[in-house]
Amino acid sequence: MINIQKFFLFIFLLFKLVFNQNGIITLPFKKEIPDINGIKQKEFIFPKMASNLIMAELKVGTNPQPIKLRLEFESYLFYIASQSSLSDIKFNQKESKTYHVIEDKTINIEISKLNKAIYSSDYIYYNSNKKYNTTFLLGIDTDEDKSGGLIGLNIEDENEAKKYSKYNFINELKRINIINDYYFSIKYTSKNSGKIFIGDLPHNFDKNYNKEDFRDTYADFSEKDLTWKLKLDKIYQAEEENAKEKTDVEQFGYGYFRIEKNIIEGTEKYRQVLLKTFMTELIDKELCFELKTDIYYSYYCKKEADISKMKNLYFYNKKLDYTFELTYKDVFYNNEYDGYQYLLIVFSSDTEIEEIGYNEFWIFGEPIFRKYQFIFNKNSKRIGLYTNIDSNNKKKSSFFSKNKWYIFLIILLIILCCAMGVLFYLYLKRKPKRKVKANELDDDFDYTATQNKLVEE
């Protein structure tokens, strides 16, 4: 006879295998919009358009306290602001019975708005409010900050890895064994919000991704700038990618990833190309304007300016064998408060930076993250991306691939019903014959018309 307990255990494990997402965590994030109403053009671009505040929320402590932490690619630290800090959002460790000081000494760091901290631990809630005892730096002295701390997504300096690696968020998730690997990716799902996936490649847990669309390569690092960057083997401007007429911007360069920037920082070489092919004509007609500060050149245009005439900007990476495209729709911001259109590419005006060889470096901020989904692995130092995440370009999926989970569930239910039917049949077959009641006919009596026929006299 089939062991019923083993059968239902098998069904339970199968469901758990299919629908459980152990091995990854998903953190929703939101962009905090600065108040730009009434701000002048110069003040609007700097610093309002230079800094991005992307924040993810974690619940911390015995009675879970929601803490908003900013995401940053320039740092690799993970800290939560305490009540003594200057941050707007604070964690009250005194209200948590599970808060614990791991090292009873003050750590002096003085980076990423953090000055002093204490190595600590407490319960943090992930995914479906599952709590894990997690270590972090408790910021006891921070600079003024609108967030409640930081999730740094950069790579640790190899010379200081032993010293700082335990203060990294992804390292800690791997240590407490709630993620599979050191992968993370950022995806915008709306204008000012999105998700960060940590722990695995998206096509391993999300049916909306195709494995064949994924490409990756080793990041090109050097000792002086150990940070996320991608080599740009060719940079050009054209009407379209395969156009015959192309204007070379640079022979090569590097793109540095910075989610904490809502702009792209370009090079002086591209600024000259932009002026020759597009901007100067509009400036002469007083439809666009140039602003120069001690640090940057920046541009904005009246709403009457036809910004669609700006040619597309292309970045080609040989190892990925992929070309990134930025159109005017990607790099102009329409400010509804003053009616001006702001170019989200700014350019360095610091000649000293050019002299030391940084004039070929680009900073890829929010505009590139909105259009492309990059994948990072901080352990193997690899960068990848999905080449078809745009709904307009995504390959058409078959009916099965679109509905495979529903089909699987239906098949599983059919198997379950069939198995239940077999079990019920076996139960009836092995059931003892019931006893005959006293008022029922004996089964051995042959009740036929011949035996019981009345004899007519």
19, two tokens: 């629908």
190 lies in the same domain as 311: no
Q: Are 143 and 245 part of one and the same domain?
A: no
**Cβ atoms within 10 Å, residue 262:** 22
**Residue where a domain terminates, one of 150, 172, 204:** 204
- Asked if 230 and 301 sit in the same domain, the reply is yes
Task: Give residue 177's Cα distance to chain centre.
Answer: 19
pLDDT the model gives residue 191: 87
pLDDT reported for residue 430: 72
**Does residue 401 sit within a domain?**
no
Return the exposure string of 180-202: e unless at least 16 CB atoms fall within 10 Å of the residue's CB, then b.
Answer: bbbbbbbbbeeeeebbbbbbbbb
Structure tokens at 405: 């989970």
Do residues 184 and 196 lie in contact, with contact meaning Cβ atoms separated by under 8 Å? yes
Q: Residue 243: its pLDDT value, please? A: 87
Residue pair 124/98 in contact by the 8 Å Cβ criterion: no
Structural domains in the chain (count): 2
186, 262: one domain: no
Exposed, middle or buried: residue 285 (CB in 10 Å: 0-12, 13-18, 19+)? Answer: exposed
Tens digit of each residue's pLDDT (9 = 90 or more) over 236-281: 999 999 888 999 999 899 999 999 999 999 999 999 999 999 999 9
On whether both 175 and 249 belong to a single domain, the answer is: no
The residue type at 300: Y
Separation CA 114–CA 149 (nearest Å): 9
More confident residue, 432 or 79: 79
Last residue of a domain, one of 395, 418, 443: 395
Helix (H, G, I), strand (E, B) or coil at 143: coil
* Enclosing H/E stretch for 270: helix 268-274
Percent of the chain residues topping a pLDDT of 70: 78
In a domain, 365, yes or no: yes
43 or 121: which carries more pLDDT confidence?
121
Average pLDDT over residues 13-31: 69
Q: Average pLDDT, stretch 375-402?
A: 69
> What is the distance of C-alpha 400 from the center of its chain?
27
pLDDT of residue 388 exceeding 90, the answer is: no
pLDDT score, position 225: 66
pLDDT tens digits, one per residue of 316-340? 999 999 999 999 999 999 888 788 8
Predicted confidence band of residue 408 (pLDDT cuts 50, 70, 90)? confident
Q: In degrees rounded to 5, what are phi and psi of residue 315?
A: -125, 125
CA 422 to chain centre: 47
pLDDT for the residue 428: 74
Per the domain annotation, does 3 fall within a domain?
no
- The CB-based long-range contact list for 159-165 (8 Å cut-off, 24+ gap) reads 164/76, 164/77
Return d(Cα 230, Cα 344) in angstroms, integer: 20
Instruction: Please give the pLDDT value at position 422.
Output: 77
For 82-213, where are the E strands, in sequence order?
A: 100-101, 107-111, 114-126, 130-142, 149-152, 183-190, 193-198
Instruction: Determine, yes or no, domain membership for 444.
Output: no
Q: Are residues 46 and 134 in the same domain?
A: yes
Q: In terms of domains, do 137 and 88 share one? A: yes
439 pLDDT exceeds 60? Answer: no
Domain boundary among 204, 227, 256: 204
232, 199: one domain: no
Q: Parallel, antiparallel, or unpaired: how do β-strands 253-257 and 229-232 relate?
A: antiparallel
Q: Are residues 180 and 39 in the same domain?
A: yes
Higher pLDDT pick, 180 / 349: 180
Residue 414 within any structural domain of the chain: no
What's the average model confidence in pLDDT over 297-320?
95
Rounded to whole angstroms, how far apart are CA atoms 134 and 9?
32
Angstrom distance (rounded) from CA 213 to CA 388: 6
Structure tokens at 137: 């730096």
**In this structure, are 199 and 272 located in the same domain?**
no
- Kindly indicate the confidence band of residue 12, based on its pLDDT and cuts at 50, 70 and 90: very low
Provide the terminal-to-terminal Cα distance of the chain, rounded to the nearest Å: 61
pLDDT value at residue 45 = 66
pLDDT digit string, tens, across residues 349-361: 765 555 545 567 8
Q: Which domain holds residue 75?
A: 25-204
- pLDDT score at 48: 64
Residue 221 belongs to domain with CATH number:
2.40.70.10
Residue 455 lies in a domain: no
Residues 195 and 215 placed together within one structural domain of the fold: no
pLDDT band at 411 (very low <50, low <70, confident <90, very high): confident
Q: How many other C-beta atoms can be found within 10 angstroms of the C-beta atom of residue 273?
A: 22
225 backbone dihedrals φ, ψ, rounded to 5°:
-140, 65
DSSP-derived pairing of the beta strands 264-266 and 114-126: unpaired
* Alpha helices, H only, 314-364: 328-331, 351-355
Q: Is the pLDDT of residue 397 over 70?
A: no
- State phi, psi for 421 to the nearest 5 degrees: -65, -40
What is the overall mean pLDDT for the chain?
83
Q: Which whole number is the average pLDDT over 98-118?
A: 92
Kindly state the tokens that stand for 50. 């230079």
What average pLDDT does this structure show over 151-179?
85
